[in-house]
Amino acid sequence: MTEDTKLTIAFGRRSFPDDVQAVWGARLIYPADLLHDRQDLAARSDEAKQELVAWLNGPGYGNGALKQALDALREDPYQFFSGQNDETCALIYSDEQGEIIGSPQGSYGYVYVAAWLHKHTEQ
């Protein structure tokens, strides 16, 4: 896949930067129930895919960015959205490596999320 080819995902929020190297998306059951068969990942390379998965899962497998985002949604979804029918896209989790965004998209029952790593420039 070339740099100028837009990545696409079958599930999740599709409003991610065009130049990301890998993107993960999911359709959660509101507010934060993750289903194994409602996720997708697209990447420009195996290395980019592995880096994103490692960030999402964390060093202790299951304590990474994805857990932080799901915990925040479970604890207080209203800090991000006014309710299940909200169409707002919110930043759910961010750190120096990447970010996770999400929105119910007016669905009355789902939250569509996407995650990617920040593009780092070589110095």
Rounded Cα distance, 23 and 114, in Å: 7
Please give the torsion angle defined by the CA atoms of residues 48, 31, 6 and 95, in that order, rounded to the nearest 10 degrees: -40
Which domains, from first to last, does the chain contain?
A: 22-117 (3.30.450.20)
> Given this model, what pLDDT does residue 25 score?
98
Going by pLDDT thresholds of 50, 70 and 90, the confidence category of residue 121 is: very low
pTM of the model: 0.91
